[in-house]
A = this chain, B = another copy of it.
Amino acid sequence: MSATYPIDHTHDPAATSWVSSANQPGSPFPLQNLPFGRFRLAGSGGECHNGEWRNGDWHIGVAIGDQVLCLRTAGLVDHADMHRLMAQAPTARQALRHALFDGLKAGSAKQAAWAAALVPQADVEMGLPCPVGDYTDFYTSIHHATTVGRQFRPEQPLLPNYVWVPIGYHGRASSVIPSGMPVRRPKGQTRPAAGSEQPNFGPSRRLDHELELALFIGQGNALGEPIGIDQAEAHLFGVALFNDWSARDIQGWEYQPLGPFLAKNFASSVAPWMVTMEALAPFRQPFVRDAALPAPLPYLSSPDTLAHGVINIELEVWLQTAQMREAGHPGDRISQSNYADAFWTAAQLVTHHTVNGCNLQPGDLLGTGTLSGPMPEQAASMLELSNGGQAPITLSTGEQRSFLEDGDSVILKGWCNRAGAARIGLGECRATVLPARA
Contact = CB atoms under 8 A, between A and B. Distances in A.
A165 B189 contact: yes
A167 B261 CA distance: 8
A226 interface: yes
Interface-centre pick from A49, A134, A360 (highest chain B CB count, 10 A): A134
A250 interface: yes
B258 A297 contact: no
A50 to B, nearest CB: 7
B189 A297 contact: yes
Given A133-B174, A197-B294, A294-B198, A152 B356 contact: no
Interface string A197-221: 1110100000000000000000000
B358 A175 contact: yes
20 contacts: A48-B222, A50-B361, A133-B174, A134-B173, A152-B257, A161-B253, A169-B258, A169-B260, A169-B261, A170-B170, A170-B265, A174-B361, A187-B355, A189-B297, A199-B297, A223-B267, A247-B356, A255-B259, A265-B356, A266-B357
Interface in A44-98: 48-50
Nearest to A164: B199
A190 to B, nearest CB: 10
Contacts of A262: 352-353, 355-356, 358
Interface in A147-197: 149, 152-153, 159-161, 164-165, 167-175, 177, 184, 186-189, 197
A256 B175 contact: no
A39 to B, nearest CB: 21
A359 interface: yes
A139 interface: yes
Nearest to A198: B294
Interface of A: 48-50, 133-134, 136-137, 139, 149, 152-153, 159-161, 164-165, 167-175, 177, 184, 186-189, 197-199, 201, 222-226, 247, 250, 253-262, 265-267, 294, 297-299, 352-353, 355-361, 364, 437
Nearest to A224: B184
A253 B165 contact: yes
Q: Taking chain A's interface residues, is the majority helix, strand, or loop, or is none over half, making it mixed?
A: loop
Nearest to A135: B170
A344 to B, nearest CB: 13
Nearest to A170: B170
A378 to B, nearest CB: 21
A170 B259 CA distance: 9
Top-9 shortest CB links A-B: A259-B259, A186-B356, A170-B170, A169-B258, A184-B224, A266-B356, A262-B356, A258-B259, A265-B358
B256 A258 contact: no
Contact of A266 (B136, B247, B358): B358
A161 B256 contact: yes
Contacts of A171: 170
Contacts of A139: 258
A168 B160 CA distance: 25
A356 B187 contact: yes
B223 A177 contact: yes
A265 B198 CA distance: 34
Nearest to A256: B159
Nearest to A361: B174
Contacts of A299: 201
Nearest to A298: B201
Contacts of A357: 184, 186-187, 266-267, 437
Given A224-B437, A361-B50, A172 B134 contact: yes
